[in-house]
Amino acid sequence: MSSWQLINLIALALLMLFACRVWFRSQHPFPLPPGPKGWPIIGNIFDVPKEKFHVAYMEMSRKYGSDLLYLNMAGTSLLILNSEEAANDLLVERSTLYSNRPDFPMLSLMGWDFNFAFLPYGNRWRKSRALFMQQFSASSLETWQKPILQESIYLFLKKLLDTPKEFEDHIRFLSGGTIISSLYGISPLNNPRHGYFLELAKKANLSASEAGIPGTYLVDNIPLLKHIPEWFPGATFKRKAAYERGLVQRMYSEPVDFVKRNMASGTAKSCAISRALQEMQDDGGWSEEKENFLKMALGAAYSAGSDTISVTLTVIVLALVRNYEILQKGKTAVDAVVGPDRLPNFGDEGKIPYVDALIMEALRWRPVAPLAMPHHTVSADIYKGYYIPSHTIVFANCWAFLQNPITYGEDVTQFRPERFLNPDGTLNSKVPYPDAAFGFGRRVCPGKAFAQCSLWLAVASLLVCFDFSRALDKDGVEIDPSTDFMDGILSFPPPFECSITPRSKTAEGLIRENYERQIS
Protein backbone atom coordinates (compact mmCIF):
# COMPACT_ATOMS: atom_id res chain seq x y z
CA MET A 1 0.00 0.00 0.00
CA SER A 2 1.37 3.41 -0.99
CA SER A 3 1.64 6.36 1.39
CA TRP A 4 -1.22 8.21 -0.34
CA GLN A 5 -3.46 5.15 -0.21
CA LEU A 6 -2.85 4.87 3.52
CA ILE A 7 -3.63 8.56 4.02
CA ASN A 8 -6.88 8.22 2.05
CA LEU A 9 -7.84 5.15 4.08
CA ILE A 10 -7.25 6.98 7.36
CA ALA A 11 -9.23 10.00 6.14
CA LEU A 12 -12.18 7.78 5.08
CA ALA A 13 -12.15 5.94 8.41
CA LEU A 14 -12.16 9.23 10.31
CA LEU A 15 -15.05 10.58 8.25
CA MET A 16 -17.12 7.44 8.91
CA LEU A 17 -16.29 7.53 12.62
CA PHE A 18 -17.27 11.18 12.89
CA ALA A 19 -20.56 10.61 11.03
CA CYS A 20 -21.45 7.71 13.33
CA ARG A 21 -20.72 9.71 16.47
CA VAL A 22 -22.74 12.69 15.24
CA TRP A 23 -25.70 10.40 14.51
CA PHE A 24 -25.59 8.65 17.87
CA ARG A 25 -25.34 11.92 19.77
CA SER A 26 -28.38 13.27 17.96
CA GLN A 27 -30.51 10.42 19.38
CA HIS A 28 -31.16 12.03 22.79
CA PRO A 29 -33.50 14.83 23.92
CA PHE A 30 -30.97 16.88 25.94
CA PRO A 31 -28.56 19.46 24.52
CA LEU A 32 -24.79 19.22 24.84
CA PRO A 33 -23.17 21.71 27.23
CA PRO A 34 -22.36 25.16 25.78
CA GLY A 35 -19.22 25.70 23.74
CA PRO A 36 -17.88 27.02 20.43
CA LYS A 37 -19.68 25.77 17.32
CA GLY A 38 -16.77 24.08 15.54
CA TRP A 39 -16.24 22.79 12.01
CA PRO A 40 -17.45 19.65 10.24
CA ILE A 41 -15.35 16.55 10.96
CA ILE A 42 -12.56 18.35 12.83
CA GLY A 43 -14.93 19.98 15.33
CA ASN A 44 -13.23 22.42 17.72
CA ILE A 45 -9.60 21.51 17.06
CA PHE A 46 -8.88 25.14 16.11
CA ASP A 47 -10.61 26.38 19.27
CA VAL A 48 -8.17 24.61 21.59
CA PRO A 49 -5.94 27.30 23.11
CA LYS A 50 -2.25 27.22 22.24
CA GLU A 51 -1.15 28.41 25.69
CA LYS A 52 -2.53 29.09 29.16
CA PHE A 53 -5.18 26.40 28.69
CA HIS A 54 -6.61 26.91 32.18
CA VAL A 55 -7.02 30.67 31.77
CA ALA A 56 -8.45 30.39 28.27
CA TYR A 57 -11.02 27.76 29.31
CA MET A 58 -12.05 29.85 32.32
CA GLU A 59 -12.62 32.88 30.08
CA MET A 60 -14.39 30.76 27.45
CA SER A 61 -16.70 29.41 30.16
CA ARG A 62 -17.59 32.96 31.18
CA LYS A 63 -18.25 33.86 27.56
CA TYR A 64 -20.83 31.08 27.24
CA GLY A 65 -22.30 31.72 30.70
CA SER A 66 -21.85 28.18 31.95
CA ASP A 67 -19.55 26.32 34.33
CA LEU A 68 -19.68 23.42 31.83
CA LEU A 69 -17.72 23.96 28.62
CA TYR A 70 -17.95 21.42 25.77
CA LEU A 71 -15.63 20.96 22.78
CA ASN A 72 -15.65 18.34 20.05
CA MET A 73 -12.12 17.22 19.16
CA ALA A 74 -12.62 15.52 15.78
CA GLY A 75 -15.29 13.28 17.31
CA THR A 76 -13.83 13.08 20.82
CA SER A 77 -15.87 14.87 23.49
CA LEU A 78 -14.03 17.24 25.80
CA LEU A 79 -15.73 18.71 28.89
CA ILE A 80 -14.11 21.33 31.11
CA LEU A 81 -15.62 21.89 34.56
CA ASN A 82 -15.10 25.50 35.61
CA SER A 83 -16.67 25.42 39.06
CA GLU A 84 -15.87 23.41 42.16
CA GLU A 85 -19.57 22.63 42.54
CA ALA A 86 -19.65 20.87 39.15
CA ALA A 87 -16.38 19.06 39.89
CA ASN A 88 -17.68 17.74 43.22
CA ASP A 89 -21.07 16.82 41.77
CA LEU A 90 -19.56 14.78 38.96
CA LEU A 91 -16.08 13.63 40.00
CA VAL A 92 -16.92 12.94 43.65
CA GLU A 93 -20.66 12.29 43.99
CA ARG A 94 -20.85 10.39 40.68
CA SER A 95 -17.35 8.91 40.88
CA THR A 96 -18.51 5.53 39.55
CA LEU A 97 -19.12 7.22 36.21
CA TYR A 98 -16.17 9.63 36.22
CA SER A 99 -13.19 7.78 37.73
CA ASN A 100 -11.82 6.39 34.50
CA ARG A 101 -8.88 7.81 32.57
CA PRO A 102 -8.95 8.56 28.84
CA ASP A 103 -6.51 7.01 26.44
CA PHE A 104 -3.28 8.96 26.18
CA PRO A 105 -1.95 7.83 22.79
CA MET A 106 1.22 9.94 22.88
CA LEU A 107 1.93 9.26 26.55
CA SER A 108 1.41 5.53 25.94
CA LEU A 109 3.80 5.61 22.99
CA MET A 110 6.29 7.32 25.30
CA GLY A 111 5.94 4.54 27.89
CA TRP A 112 3.98 6.45 30.52
CA ASP A 113 1.25 3.81 30.61
CA PHE A 114 3.39 2.20 33.34
CA ASN A 115 2.22 4.93 35.75
CA PHE A 116 -1.03 4.09 37.56
CA ALA A 117 -1.98 7.79 37.46
CA PHE A 118 -2.69 7.24 33.75
CA LEU A 119 -4.28 3.79 34.09
CA PRO A 120 -8.00 3.24 33.53
CA TYR A 121 -10.08 2.47 36.61
CA GLY A 122 -9.80 -1.24 37.36
CA ASN A 123 -7.95 -3.99 39.23
CA ARG A 124 -4.45 -3.01 38.11
CA TRP A 125 -5.06 0.58 39.13
CA ARG A 126 -6.44 -0.48 42.53
CA LYS A 127 -3.50 -2.79 43.26
CA SER A 128 -0.96 -0.18 42.17
CA ARG A 129 -2.57 2.53 44.25
CA ALA A 130 -2.76 0.22 47.29
CA LEU A 131 0.96 -0.55 47.01
CA PHE A 132 1.71 3.16 46.69
CA MET A 133 -0.45 4.01 49.70
CA GLN A 134 1.30 1.33 51.74
CA GLN A 135 4.50 3.37 51.42
CA PHE A 136 3.00 6.88 51.72
CA SER A 137 0.04 6.50 54.08
CA ALA A 138 -0.30 8.57 57.27
CA SER A 139 1.01 5.64 59.37
CA SER A 140 4.03 5.17 57.10
CA LEU A 141 4.77 8.87 57.40
CA GLU A 142 5.03 8.60 61.17
CA THR A 143 7.08 5.40 61.25
CA TRP A 144 9.74 6.01 58.61
CA GLN A 145 9.00 8.79 56.12
CA LYS A 146 9.19 11.71 58.56
CA PRO A 147 12.62 10.66 59.92
CA ILE A 148 13.94 10.50 56.34
CA LEU A 149 12.41 13.91 55.60
CA GLN A 150 14.04 15.36 58.71
CA GLU A 151 17.44 14.03 57.66
CA SER A 152 17.02 15.24 54.09
CA ILE A 153 16.20 18.77 55.23
CA TYR A 154 19.60 19.11 56.92
CA LEU A 155 21.45 18.27 53.72
CA PHE A 156 19.12 20.53 51.72
CA LEU A 157 19.85 23.50 54.01
CA LYS A 158 23.60 22.83 53.80
CA LYS A 159 23.47 22.76 49.99
CA LEU A 160 21.50 26.00 49.98
CA LEU A 161 24.02 27.60 52.34
CA ASP A 162 27.00 26.60 50.18
CA THR A 163 25.59 27.23 46.69
CA PRO A 164 22.45 29.40 46.97
CA LYS A 165 22.37 30.23 43.24
CA GLU A 166 21.59 26.57 42.55
CA PHE A 167 18.49 26.69 44.74
CA GLU A 168 16.21 25.14 42.10
CA ASP A 169 18.43 22.05 41.87
CA HIS A 170 18.52 21.85 45.67
CA ILE A 171 14.72 22.03 45.87
CA ARG A 172 14.45 19.21 43.34
CA PHE A 173 16.96 17.24 45.40
CA LEU A 174 14.84 17.67 48.52
CA SER A 175 11.57 16.52 46.95
CA GLY A 176 12.70 13.79 44.58
CA GLY A 177 15.80 12.88 46.55
CA THR A 178 13.83 12.08 49.69
CA ILE A 179 11.65 9.67 47.72
CA ILE A 180 14.70 8.06 46.13
CA SER A 181 16.20 7.54 49.58
CA SER A 182 13.06 6.00 51.05
CA LEU A 183 12.15 3.82 48.06
CA TYR A 184 15.58 2.68 46.95
CA GLY A 185 17.86 3.31 49.93
CA ILE A 186 20.18 5.43 47.81
CA SER A 187 21.88 7.96 50.08
CA PRO A 188 22.40 11.47 48.70
CA LEU A 189 25.73 11.61 50.54
CA ASN A 190 28.62 10.85 48.19
CA ASN A 191 26.54 8.58 45.95
CA PRO A 192 26.60 9.75 42.32
CA ARG A 193 23.71 7.43 41.44
CA HIS A 194 21.39 9.58 43.55
CA GLY A 195 21.93 12.64 41.35
CA TYR A 196 21.85 10.52 38.22
CA PHE A 197 18.40 9.11 39.04
CA LEU A 198 17.09 12.57 39.88
CA GLU A 199 18.25 13.90 36.52
CA LEU A 200 16.70 10.92 34.75
CA ALA A 201 13.31 11.69 36.30
CA LYS A 202 13.64 15.36 35.37
CA LYS A 203 14.25 14.59 31.70
CA ALA A 204 11.41 12.09 31.50
CA ASN A 205 8.93 14.37 33.30
CA LEU A 206 9.55 17.33 31.01
CA SER A 207 8.19 15.52 27.97
CA ALA A 208 5.30 13.99 29.94
CA SER A 209 4.13 17.42 31.08
CA GLU A 210 3.85 18.57 27.47
CA ALA A 211 2.22 15.38 26.16
CA GLY A 212 -0.35 15.21 28.96
CA ILE A 213 -2.47 18.01 27.50
CA PRO A 214 -4.89 16.59 24.88
CA GLY A 215 -4.39 18.20 21.50
CA THR A 216 -0.66 18.84 21.88
CA TYR A 217 0.02 16.01 19.43
CA LEU A 218 -2.20 15.13 16.48
CA VAL A 219 -2.13 11.45 17.46
CA ASP A 220 -4.16 12.34 20.59
CA ASN A 221 -6.99 13.55 18.36
CA ILE A 222 -6.52 10.86 15.71
CA PRO A 223 -5.40 7.70 17.61
CA LEU A 224 -5.17 5.70 14.37
CA LEU A 225 -1.95 7.60 13.67
CA LYS A 226 -0.17 5.62 16.37
CA HIS A 227 -0.06 2.67 13.98
CA ILE A 228 1.92 4.42 11.26
CA PRO A 229 5.64 3.48 11.04
CA GLU A 230 8.40 5.81 12.24
CA TRP A 231 9.69 6.33 8.70
CA PHE A 232 6.30 7.62 7.48
CA PRO A 233 6.24 11.30 6.38
CA GLY A 234 5.17 13.50 9.30
CA ALA A 235 5.78 10.75 11.88
CA THR A 236 8.24 12.82 13.88
CA PHE A 237 6.10 12.17 16.96
CA LYS A 238 6.79 8.42 16.65
CA ARG A 239 10.55 8.97 16.67
CA LYS A 240 10.26 11.33 19.64
CA ALA A 241 8.10 8.81 21.48
CA ALA A 242 10.60 6.01 20.91
CA TYR A 243 13.40 8.10 22.41
CA GLU A 244 11.30 9.16 25.41
CA ARG A 245 10.15 5.57 25.99
CA GLY A 246 13.76 4.56 26.57
CA LEU A 247 14.14 7.31 29.17
CA VAL A 248 10.94 6.34 30.97
CA GLN A 249 11.83 2.64 31.13
CA ARG A 250 15.27 3.49 32.50
CA MET A 251 13.70 5.81 35.08
CA TYR A 252 11.62 3.10 36.79
CA SER A 253 13.86 0.08 36.10
CA GLU A 254 17.41 1.19 36.82
CA PRO A 255 16.90 2.13 40.50
CA VAL A 256 15.40 -1.30 41.21
CA ASP A 257 18.25 -3.01 39.36
CA PHE A 258 20.64 -0.98 41.53
CA VAL A 259 18.94 -2.25 44.71
CA LYS A 260 19.04 -5.85 43.46
CA ARG A 261 22.77 -5.68 42.79
CA ASN A 262 23.36 -4.32 46.28
CA MET A 263 21.18 -7.04 47.79
CA ALA A 264 23.23 -9.66 45.98
CA SER A 265 26.46 -8.17 47.32
CA GLY A 266 25.06 -7.68 50.83
CA THR A 267 25.44 -3.88 50.75
CA ALA A 268 21.79 -2.85 50.26
CA LYS A 269 20.23 -0.47 52.75
CA SER A 270 16.76 -1.25 54.06
CA CYS A 271 14.20 0.49 51.85
CA ALA A 272 10.76 -0.07 50.36
CA ILE A 273 12.09 -1.99 47.35
CA SER A 274 14.55 -4.18 49.27
CA ARG A 275 11.90 -5.12 51.83
CA ALA A 276 9.34 -5.96 49.16
CA LEU A 277 11.83 -8.04 47.12
CA GLN A 278 13.04 -9.85 50.22
CA GLU A 279 9.46 -10.66 51.22
CA MET A 280 8.82 -12.12 47.76
CA GLN A 281 11.90 -14.32 48.05
CA ASP A 282 11.15 -15.45 51.60
CA ASP A 283 7.61 -16.58 50.87
CA GLY A 284 8.50 -18.04 47.46
CA GLY A 285 6.18 -15.64 45.69
CA TRP A 286 8.76 -13.91 43.48
CA SER A 287 8.08 -13.72 39.78
CA GLU A 288 9.26 -11.42 37.02
CA GLU A 289 5.69 -10.21 36.63
CA LYS A 290 5.44 -9.25 40.34
CA GLU A 291 8.81 -7.52 40.23
CA ASN A 292 7.82 -5.48 37.18
CA PHE A 293 4.58 -4.53 38.90
CA LEU A 294 6.59 -3.35 41.92
CA LYS A 295 8.92 -1.32 39.70
CA MET A 296 6.04 0.45 38.00
CA ALA A 297 3.84 1.10 41.03
CA LEU A 298 6.61 2.67 43.11
CA GLY A 299 8.26 4.24 40.08
CA ALA A 300 5.13 6.38 39.85
CA ALA A 301 5.98 7.89 43.24
CA TYR A 302 9.55 8.54 42.16
CA SER A 303 8.52 10.34 38.96
CA ALA A 304 5.63 12.33 40.47
CA GLY A 305 7.27 13.40 43.70
CA SER A 306 10.39 14.70 41.99
CA ASP A 307 8.31 17.41 40.33
CA THR A 308 5.06 18.21 42.13
CA ILE A 309 6.52 19.03 45.56
CA SER A 310 9.47 20.89 44.07
CA VAL A 311 7.20 23.12 41.97
CA THR A 312 5.15 24.24 44.98
CA LEU A 313 8.26 24.89 47.06
CA THR A 314 9.76 26.93 44.22
CA VAL A 315 6.52 28.94 44.04
CA ILE A 316 6.90 29.75 47.74
CA VAL A 317 10.51 30.87 47.27
CA LEU A 318 9.36 33.04 44.36
CA ALA A 319 6.65 34.58 46.53
CA LEU A 320 9.06 35.29 49.39
CA VAL A 321 11.50 36.94 46.99
CA ARG A 322 8.76 39.18 45.61
CA ASN A 323 7.06 40.00 48.93
CA TYR A 324 9.29 41.38 51.69
CA GLU A 325 6.41 41.86 54.15
CA ILE A 326 5.30 38.24 53.81
CA LEU A 327 8.85 37.06 54.42
CA GLN A 328 9.08 39.14 57.61
CA LYS A 329 5.73 37.85 58.88
CA GLY A 330 6.83 34.29 58.20
CA LYS A 331 10.11 34.75 60.08
CA THR A 332 8.33 36.32 63.06
CA ALA A 333 5.84 33.44 63.17
CA VAL A 334 8.44 30.65 63.18
CA ASP A 335 10.73 32.48 65.60
CA ALA A 336 7.90 32.71 68.13
CA VAL A 337 7.57 28.92 68.21
CA VAL A 338 11.00 27.54 67.31
CA GLY A 339 13.20 30.10 69.04
CA PRO A 340 16.83 30.96 68.18
CA ASP A 341 18.62 27.80 69.30
CA ARG A 342 17.32 25.01 67.06
CA LEU A 343 15.83 24.11 63.68
CA PRO A 344 12.14 23.22 63.20
CA ASN A 345 11.00 19.62 63.55
CA PHE A 346 7.72 17.79 63.18
CA GLY A 347 6.93 18.44 66.82
CA ASP A 348 6.26 22.04 65.74
CA GLU A 349 3.79 21.00 63.06
CA GLY A 350 0.38 22.58 63.55
CA LYS A 351 1.74 25.27 65.88
CA ILE A 352 2.67 27.89 63.25
CA PRO A 353 -0.50 28.85 61.33
CA TYR A 354 1.35 31.32 59.11
CA VAL A 355 3.43 28.49 57.62
CA ASP A 356 0.23 26.55 56.89
CA ALA A 357 -1.26 29.66 55.29
CA LEU A 358 1.85 30.17 53.12
CA ILE A 359 1.57 26.63 51.78
CA MET A 360 -2.17 26.89 51.18
CA GLU A 361 -1.72 30.18 49.34
CA ALA A 362 0.97 28.68 47.10
CA LEU A 363 -1.30 25.76 46.22
CA ARG A 364 -4.12 28.20 45.48
CA TRP A 365 -2.17 30.94 43.69
CA ARG A 366 -0.26 28.66 41.31
CA PRO A 367 -1.60 25.08 41.40
CA VAL A 368 0.91 22.56 40.04
CA ALA A 369 -1.64 21.03 37.68
CA PRO A 370 -4.09 23.84 36.76
CA LEU A 371 -6.36 21.51 34.76
CA ALA A 372 -5.71 18.52 37.03
CA MET A 373 -5.50 15.07 35.48
CA PRO A 374 -8.30 14.30 33.01
CA HIS A 375 -11.13 11.95 33.95
CA HIS A 376 -13.15 9.86 31.48
CA THR A 377 -16.83 8.95 31.53
CA VAL A 378 -17.66 5.24 31.35
CA SER A 379 -21.21 5.95 30.20
CA ALA A 380 -23.46 8.85 29.22
CA ASP A 381 -24.83 11.17 31.90
CA ILE A 382 -27.30 14.02 32.35
CA TYR A 383 -26.28 16.99 34.51
CA LYS A 384 -28.09 20.31 34.90
CA GLY A 385 -30.17 19.47 31.84
CA TYR A 386 -27.13 18.82 29.63
CA TYR A 387 -26.17 15.58 27.95
CA ILE A 388 -22.63 14.34 28.62
CA PRO A 389 -21.72 11.58 26.15
CA SER A 390 -19.97 8.38 27.16
CA HIS A 391 -16.18 8.39 26.71
CA THR A 392 -16.01 12.13 27.32
CA ILE A 393 -12.66 13.49 28.52
CA VAL A 394 -13.38 15.61 31.61
CA PHE A 395 -11.05 18.26 33.01
CA ALA A 396 -11.56 19.97 36.36
CA ASN A 397 -10.22 23.46 35.84
CA CYS A 398 -8.63 23.92 39.27
CA TRP A 399 -7.37 27.32 38.20
CA ALA A 400 -10.95 28.59 37.87
CA PHE A 401 -11.90 27.25 41.32
CA LEU A 402 -8.83 28.58 43.11
CA GLN A 403 -9.03 31.99 41.42
CA ASN A 404 -12.69 32.42 42.32
CA PRO A 405 -13.11 35.85 44.00
CA ILE A 406 -16.35 34.74 45.68
CA THR A 407 -14.43 32.05 47.58
CA TYR A 408 -11.03 33.68 48.08
CA GLY A 409 -11.61 37.44 47.79
CA GLU A 410 -11.35 40.05 45.07
CA ASP A 411 -7.53 40.05 45.18
CA VAL A 412 -7.19 36.43 43.97
CA THR A 413 -4.41 37.34 41.54
CA GLN A 414 -2.23 38.44 44.48
CA PHE A 415 -0.17 36.16 46.73
CA ARG A 416 -1.61 36.84 50.19
CA PRO A 417 -1.42 34.09 52.87
CA GLU A 418 -3.50 36.24 55.25
CA ARG A 419 -6.65 35.28 53.32
CA PHE A 420 -6.49 31.94 55.20
CA LEU A 421 -6.05 33.54 58.63
CA ASN A 422 -8.26 35.19 61.24
CA PRO A 423 -7.25 38.61 62.62
CA ASP A 424 -5.71 36.84 65.64
CA GLY A 425 -3.41 34.78 63.40
CA THR A 426 -5.25 31.46 63.69
CA LEU A 427 -6.43 29.57 60.61
CA ASN A 428 -9.80 30.72 59.29
CA SER A 429 -11.94 27.61 58.87
CA LYS A 430 -14.41 29.56 56.71
CA VAL A 431 -11.87 29.85 53.88
CA PRO A 432 -11.62 26.41 52.26
CA TYR A 433 -8.34 24.55 51.99
CA PRO A 434 -7.28 24.43 48.28
CA ASP A 435 -8.00 20.69 48.01
CA ALA A 436 -8.60 21.06 44.28
CA ALA A 437 -4.81 21.17 43.86
CA PHE A 438 -4.74 17.46 44.76
CA GLY A 439 -7.49 16.20 42.45
CA PHE A 440 -10.96 14.79 43.03
CA GLY A 441 -12.84 11.66 44.03
CA ARG A 442 -11.23 8.27 43.71
CA ARG A 443 -8.44 9.86 41.71
CA VAL A 444 -7.32 12.26 44.44
CA CYS A 445 -3.52 12.35 44.80
CA PRO A 446 -2.44 9.43 47.05
CA GLY A 447 0.73 11.29 48.00
CA LYS A 448 -1.13 14.27 49.49
CA ALA A 449 -0.10 13.62 53.12
CA PHE A 450 3.54 13.15 52.15
CA ALA A 451 3.51 16.35 50.09
CA GLN A 452 1.97 18.36 52.93
CA CYS A 453 4.56 17.11 55.45
CA SER A 454 7.44 17.76 53.09
CA LEU A 455 6.29 21.28 52.32
CA TRP A 456 5.64 22.15 55.95
CA LEU A 457 9.10 21.17 57.18
CA ALA A 458 10.84 22.78 54.20
CA VAL A 459 9.01 26.12 54.50
CA ALA A 460 9.45 26.35 58.27
CA SER A 461 13.17 25.56 57.92
CA LEU A 462 13.70 28.11 55.15
CA LEU A 463 12.08 30.84 57.21
CA VAL A 464 14.25 30.04 60.25
CA CYS A 465 17.50 29.92 58.29
CA PHE A 466 17.45 32.30 55.31
CA ASP A 467 16.62 35.73 53.96
CA PHE A 468 15.29 36.03 50.40
CA SER A 469 15.47 39.07 48.12
CA ARG A 470 15.57 40.05 44.46
CA ALA A 471 18.78 39.62 42.50
CA LEU A 472 20.49 42.70 41.06
CA ASP A 473 21.39 43.24 37.42
CA LYS A 474 24.78 44.60 36.24
CA ASP A 475 23.64 48.15 37.01
CA GLY A 476 22.57 47.28 40.55
CA VAL A 477 18.85 47.42 39.72
CA GLU A 478 16.56 44.79 41.27
CA ILE A 479 15.31 42.07 38.91
CA ASP A 480 11.60 41.39 39.31
CA PRO A 481 11.13 37.62 38.76
CA SER A 482 8.34 36.65 36.37
CA THR A 483 5.10 35.02 37.49
CA ASP A 484 4.24 33.99 33.93
CA PHE A 485 4.46 30.22 34.37
CA MET A 486 5.40 27.63 31.74
CA ASP A 487 2.51 25.58 30.32
CA GLY A 488 1.91 21.84 30.37
CA ILE A 489 -0.01 19.27 32.38
CA LEU A 490 2.23 20.63 35.14
CA SER A 491 2.76 24.38 35.38
CA PHE A 492 6.33 25.43 36.22
CA PRO A 493 7.72 28.79 37.30
CA PRO A 494 10.27 30.02 34.75
CA PRO A 495 13.89 29.96 35.98
CA PHE A 496 14.68 33.03 38.05
CA GLU A 497 17.57 34.51 39.98
CA CYS A 498 17.41 35.66 43.57
CA SER A 499 19.57 36.37 46.59
CA ILE A 500 19.49 33.77 49.40
CA THR A 501 21.62 34.50 52.46
CA PRO A 502 21.71 33.08 56.01
CA ARG A 503 19.69 35.18 58.46
CA SER A 504 22.50 35.24 61.00
CA LYS A 505 25.68 33.55 62.15
CA THR A 506 23.51 31.58 64.56
CA ALA A 507 21.36 30.23 61.71
CA GLU A 508 24.46 29.35 59.72
CA GLY A 509 25.89 27.53 62.75
CA LEU A 510 22.67 25.54 63.24
CA ILE A 511 22.74 24.41 59.61
CA ARG A 512 26.35 23.24 59.81
CA GLU A 513 25.90 21.63 63.25
CA ASN A 514 22.88 19.55 62.20
CA TYR A 515 24.54 18.57 58.93
CA GLU A 516 27.71 17.40 60.68
CA ARG A 517 25.65 15.43 63.18
CA GLN A 518 23.84 13.69 60.33
CA ILE A 519 26.95 12.57 58.45
CA SER A 520 28.95 11.57 61.54
Per the annotation, binding residues for heme are: 445
How far apart CA 78 and CA 7 sit, in angstroms, is: 26
- Which residue type, as a one-letter code, is found at position 300? A
Contact assessment for residue 346 and residue 403, using Cβ atoms and an 8 Å cutoff: no
Cα 222 from chain centroid? 26
Cα of 416 vs its chain's centroid, Å: 23
Helices marked H in 26-121 — which ranges?
Answer: 53-63, 84-87, 95-98, 105-109
- DSSP state letters, 345-369: -GGGTTS-HHHHHHHHHHHHHS-SS
Is residue 393 a contact partner of residue 74, using CB atoms and an 8 Å limit?
Answer: no
Q: How far apart, in whole angstroms, are the C-alpha atoms of residue 377 and residue 100? A: 6
| Strands laid side by side in the 393-396 sheet | 68-73, 76-81, 393-396, 375-376
- Bind-site residues: 445
Query: What is the torsional sign of CA 279, 285, 288, 289?
Result: negative
Q: Are 97 and 79 in contact (CB under 8 A)?
A: no
178 Rama class: left (phi>0) / alpha (psi -120 to 50) / beta: alpha
Picking from 148, 147, 241, 257, the residue whose alpha carbon sits closest to that of residue 197 is 257
DSSP category for residue 39: B
Q: Is 433 helix (H, G, I), strand (E, B) or coil?
A: coil
Q: How many residues does the chain have?
A: 520
Alpha-carbon distance of 264 to 294, in angstroms, equals: 18
Q: What whole-number distance in Å separates Cα of residue 100 and Cα of residue 98?
A: 6
